[in-house]
Amino acid sequence: MRTPELVTALLAEFDVGDEFEKKEYICSDVGDCGWRGLGTETNLVFIRNTAWSQCPKCSSNVAYIVDIDAENHRASYVSRKHRDYIEKLKETLTQDEASFPELEGDSLEFSWTIEPSDSADGVAPDYVVIDCDDVVIHREEAYWGNKDRFEQVEEMLRRRYGSRFSDLEHFDAFGYLNGRPGVVWR
């Protein structure tokens, strides 16, 4: 693992438990803006169970934090910021099943899939897509450890569609629900 005191041409890789926030960085990436500062001054972008630390001046990536596991690193700076991010994101998610469209049919089977980012640098969110018979009924930003949201959406579908609700299936290709990719969770 590389943890240089000053990051110049390299994108430093950190474990979530490292004291990344106390390191000093110099931005000399694409923008070559010359910004210099501490990890706490960078902008953190969270995708899956990783984070990118971006220059506050030009948004170039200056560090990459891997394997965010807030439970095992509760006191770390990155884990605290990750929990804050998820709490703010949850405030933006729909809580009203009335936003789901009316659907035809006596038995409705839904699927919960993750639509991966198609950004070239990978620094864009993945999305949860809920569909029924290839009709997308809902799309929202995904967050790591979203088992609670899966259960909440499942209950919203039950309330919205009543006895016509049959199932909400999920193949977790990225490990969002339980941290283990490729698992069918029920």
What pLDDT does 184 receive?
A: 46
What pLDDT does 129 receive?
A: 93
pLDDT digits (tens, 9 = 90+) for 7-50: 333 455 665 556 777 888 888 654 568 888 888 888 888 877 77
* H, E, C per residue of the chain: CCCCCEECCCCEEEECCCCHHHCEEECCCCCCCCCEEEHHHCEEEEECCEEEEECCCCCCEEEEEECCCCCCCCCCHHHHHHHHHHHHHHHHCCCCHHHCCCCCCCCEEEEEEEECCCCCCCCCCCEEEEEECCEEEEEEECCCCCHHHHHHHHHHHHHHHHHHEEEEEEEECCCCCCCCCCEECC
More confident residue, 114 or 183: 114
Give me the mean pLDDT over the 3-8 stretch: 33
pLDDT digits (tens, 9 = 90+) for 140-152: 988 877 888 999 9
More confident residue, 11 or 173: 173
pLDDT of 153 > 90? The answer is yes
pTM, whole model, 2 decimals? 0.70
The domain locations on the chain are 6-90, 95-184
Give me the mean pLDDT over the 54-60 stretch: 84
